[in-house]
A and B are shown apart, each in its own frame.
Chain A
Amino acid sequence: MSLKLTRTPRTAVLGLCLALLAGLLSGCTGDSGKETIRFTFSKREAIGFMTKLVADYNASQDSTEVILDTSGVDVVSASFVRGNPPDIALANYNMETARFVQRGALSDLSGTQAATRVRKDLQPLMDQYGSYPDRTSALPYSVMASSVIYNKEIFAAHGIEVPETWSELLAACDALKAAGVTPFYATWKDDWTVAQGWFDYSVGGQLDTLDFFDKLAEAGTDVGPDSPASFQKDFEQPVEKMLKLAGTYVNKDAASRGYGDGNLAFSQGKAAMYLQGPWAFSEIAKTAPDLQLGTFPLPMTENPEDLRVRVNVDLAAWIPEESKHKEAARAFLEYLYQPEIIEAYNKSQLGFTPTTDADAAPDPRIEGMVEYYDKGSVYQGPSVLVPRTIPIMNYTQALVLGADPAATFRTLDADWARLAFRQ
């Protein structure tokens, strides 16, 4: 090829690169010259609250412009892979975030004011997902306890007391059913509602999940019928009880109902109990603000001492190592942890504030769980302790829709062993 030929494409490539570069650069600074930080938050029940909070913060100072990004968990994970993570996030703390922690993708927050005010006794909840040496990779922002939500008006109308044992629960369900009331409203179309409610409450109420997963991790590639702990041995009993409830006491159209349908139906009094976390309260309140609701731990054994509630770090704050605006992000973090803000947030979402200076004045709707939370009768749900690459939510959905439990748990054991083999 002659020189003339190469020059034309070279100019074209140069022009292309310049155009790309211009696009990249303009992304860094806002039009007003403020430093722009991207704040990821995708808890849909609280987006209204956060939108207002971000607007207030942007109005309160001139140096930083916070942009609220609500595009969701999957997008955030992908952004890490692409090397373009958000500058700060408040996100559900689970196995998903744990990966970022374990591989050192999150920056150290131990020097912040906020870190000194976080309750130390909550650390086990965070550490359960692993840690990175000499770093405080994430700070808890909102702890949620979840258990059975029940309609106090329906319970009172039929003279039913809150059950404390498995047989009392069955008796209550039978009484409701006899009176023509659907005992549980189930929303099996959304697999996560099966996993976090039906599956976690049933298994967590009967099994020491922490101990189980420790043993499972130890067994690694050997997980199977002969290992000290395995899904097929330890989960079959608890799940049998779950299937008893799921097969007898739910709405007829459970398989085609989703989370949104469930909130609406429950607010209309179409069932007495609902296996959802406190995040559902604000959704239910949209259509029935005055409905009398309460909570109680799902009794799965005959011993009231076994009653426990499921807890999780619903939101944790973290700042990625790769963020180019760490200082601005940390300033916003301190703002988020100001007592009046973090408490207002948790009050609005019925969560527990994880700071030492928080005053505990629980909403009547979550009063039923405070006792258990305070004395530490809590567990983390098994569904959140399984790595996300194993489709545990799909499996639990298959279970309530009629899949064979023994076969499902054999698959789960094999998945676990295979994951241990390659990681």
Chain B
Amino acid sequence: MSTTTATRRGQGRPESRSRRRVEPIFYFFLLPSLVLFTLAITVPGLVGIFFSFTDSIGIGDWEFAGLTNYIAIFSDPAILQSYLFTFGFSIVTVLVVNVIAFLLAVGLTSQIRMKTALRTIFVIPMVVSGIIIAYVFNFLFSNSLPSAGAAAGISWLETSLLANPDLAWIAIVVVTAWQAVPGALLIYIAGLVSIPGDVYEAAEIDGASKFQQLLKITAPLVAGYVVINIILGFKGFLNAYDIIVGLTNGGPGTSTRSIAMTVIAGFNGGDYAYQMANATIFFVVAVLISLLQLSLTRGRNTL
């Protein structure tokens, strides 16, 4: 940035004057978002970080507690477990979502009948609120599936998936994926449509099979979209909250408590400062992941 200004400054007056005369309307466009972002995100964030060094419960009197909260967090198995669960869940879900969405997108961009109608149907889950989806699936898992299992005589189906501490996370992956696939699907469709038809024609002439075309042409050409979907998806799943609340509420036992749930539990349950410390750590972790993803994807696959 500084080098360009320097060279431009050396290039004489007319240039530099035109640079300075930026349309005021651009600042005007930026301002509302900047003000709202500062007031609603940055300031509360800093306040939260400040309180993580106190013993506040969110109301009333408080005192400085130094690093006490942070020391306690690192010896807290419940917090550690919530991190393990959230990351494991996010990785599995991101894989499931992207595989399904990619295959669906390939199907929905090929020459099939009722393409528009099918696309519409597949996108519907995206517009339904997460908590509603979760409650509907909760009913299916707790009532419909067990009765179906009982009727068909399949004994392992008779107890709800949600009641099994070792398997409840699978139910959460299924429901989250069901909701998240459409978003990824739309991005993949956009990516597939943008591939020019003539490369396929050339491949056809060279005698490539449909499967070879998928592997050698389609896959590399949508690689950038894959990266976008993985980053957006992973970031979203790390914040998992509403679907888990509606499905298991962190249970059975404590097996499906996500990081966001433990943070909010502190907000509601009188552990404000402690969970603010947890949120601060989570924030740092999220920043590290973003930096890692940026450095991994820089240069390649940019859109």
* A interface residues with partner B (beta carbon < 8 Å): 1, 4-5, 8-9, 12-13, 16, 73-74, 77-78, 80-81, 95-96, 99-100, 102-105, 188-189, 191, 252-253, 255-258, 387-389, 391, 394-395, 397-398, 401-403, 411, 414-415, 418, 421-423
- Whether B160 lies near A255 (C-beta < 8 A) is yes
- Whether A12 lies near B267 (C-beta < 8 A) is no
- Whether A9 lies near B31 (C-beta < 8 A) is yes
B78 within 8 A of A: yes
> What are 28 pairs between A and B in contact, CB < 8 Å?
A5-B24, A8-B28, A9-B28, A12-B32, A77-B268, A77-B270, A81-B58, A81-B272, A96-B269, A99-B57, A103-B59, A188-B252, A189-B142, A191-B251, A252-B158, A253-B158, A253-B159, A255-B159, A256-B162, A389-B271, A394-B257, A398-B254, A401-B165, A403-B165, A411-B78, A421-B68, A422-B69, A423-B55
When distances are taken between beta carbons in the complex, the residues of chain B under 8 Å from A4 are: 24
B10 within 8 A of A: no
Of all chain A residues, which has the CB nearest B165?
Answer: A401
When distances are taken between beta carbons in the complex, the residues of chain A under 8 Å from B266 are: 389
Of all chain B residues, which has the CB nearest A72?
Answer: B268
B42 within 8 A of A: no
Which residues of B, 128-174, contact A by the 8 Å Cβ criterion? 141-143, 146, 158-160, 162-165
When chains A and B are docked, how far (Å) is the Cα of A423 from the Cα of B273? 10
Q: How far is the CB of B67 from chain A (nearest CB, A)?
A: 10
- Tell me which of A9, A78, A256, A389 contacts B27 (CB under 8 A): A9
When distances are taken between beta carbons in the complex, the residues of chain A under 8 Å from B160 are: 189, 253, 255-256
When distances are taken between beta carbons in the complex, the residues of chain A under 8 Å from B77 are: 411, 414
When distances are taken between beta carbons in the complex, the residues of chain A under 8 Å from B252 are: 188, 255, 397-398, 401
- Tell me which of B31, B58, B78, B158 contacts A80 (CB under 8 A): B58
- Whether A256 lies near B55 (C-beta < 8 A) is no
When distances are taken between beta carbons in the complex, the residues of chain A under 8 Å from B255 are: 398
A-facing mask of B61-87, CB < 8 A → 1, else 0? 100010011001001111000000000
Number of B residues contacting the other chain (C-beta, 8 Å)? 48
When distances are taken between beta carbons in the complex, the residues of chain A under 8 Å from B58 are: 77, 80-81
- Whether A12 lies near B270 (C-beta < 8 A) is no
Of all chain A residues, which has the CB nearest B58?
Answer: A81
When chains A and B are docked, how far (Å) is the Cα of A389 from the Cα of B59? 15
Specify which of B68, B72, B252, B270 lies most central, judged by the most chain A CB atoms within 10 Å of its CB: B270
* B interface residues with partner A (beta carbon < 8 Å): 24, 27-28, 31-32, 35, 55, 57-61, 65, 68-69, 72, 75-78, 141-143, 146, 158-160, 162-165, 249-255, 257, 265-272, 274
When distances are taken between beta carbons in the complex, the residues of chain A under 8 Å from B28 are: 8-9, 12
When distances are taken between beta carbons in the complex, the residues of chain B under 8 Å from A191 are: 249, 251
Asked whether A16 and B32 contact (CB < 8 A) given A388-B270, A403-B165, A415-B78, the answer is yes
When distances are taken between beta carbons in the complex, the residues of chain A under 8 Å from B35 are: 13, 16
Q: How far is the CB of A189 from chain B (nearest CB, A)?
A: 6
Of all chain B residues, which has the CB nearest A7?
Answer: B24
When chains A and B are docked, how far (Å) is the Cα of A207 from the Cα of B43? 49
- Whether A80 lies near B59 (C-beta < 8 A) is yes
When distances are taken between beta carbons in the complex, the residues of chain B under 8 Å from A415 are: 76, 78
- Tell me which of A100, A394, A402 contacts B254 (CB under 8 A): A394
- Whether A401 lies near B163 (C-beta < 8 A) is yes
Q: How far is the CB of B149 from chain A (nearest CB, A)?
A: 11
When distances are taken between beta carbons in the complex, the residues of chain A under 8 Å from B250 are: 391, 394
When chains A and B are docked, how far (Å) is the Cα of A414 from the Cα of B77? 9
Asked whether A388 and B272 contact (CB < 8 A) given A189-B163, A256-B146, A256-B163, the answer is no
When distances are taken between beta carbons in the complex, the residues of chain B under 8 Å from A102 are: 60
When distances are taken between beta carbons in the complex, the residues of chain A under 8 Å from B162 are: 189, 256
- Whether A394 lies near B253 (C-beta < 8 A) is yes
Of all chain B residues, which has the CB nearest A81?
Answer: B58
When distances are taken between beta carbons in the complex, the residues of chain B under 8 Å from A401 are: 163, 165, 252-253
Asked whether A77 and B24 contact (CB < 8 A) given A99-B57, A415-B78, the answer is no
When chains A and B are docked, how far (Å) is the Cα of A103 from the Cα of B56? 10
When chains A and B are docked, how far (Å) is the Cα of A403 from the Cα of B141? 22
Asked whether A256 and B32 contact (CB < 8 A) given A99-B270, A387-B270, the answer is no
* New contact pairs (16) apart from A5-B24, A256-B162, A422-B55, CB-CB < 8 Å: A1-B27, A12-B31, A13-B31, A74-B268, A81-B58, A100-B59, A103-B61, A188-B163, A253-B158, A253-B159, A255-B160, A256-B146, A388-B270, A389-B274, A401-B165, A421-B68
When chains A and B are docked, how far (Å) is the Cα of A78 from the Cα of B269? 9
When distances are taken between beta carbons in the complex, the residues of chain A under 8 Å from B146 are: 253, 256
Q: How far is the CB of A187 from chain B (nearest CB, A)?
A: 11
When chains A and B are docked, how far (Å) is the Cα of A99 from the Cα of B267? 13
When chains A and B are docked, how far (Å) is the Cα of A95 from the Cα of B55? 17
Q: Enumerate the 10 nearest inter-chain pairs by beta-carbon distance, A residue then B residue, closest first.
A: A398-B253, A103-B60, A255-B163, A256-B160, A81-B58, A388-B269, A389-B271, A74-B268, A256-B142, A389-B269
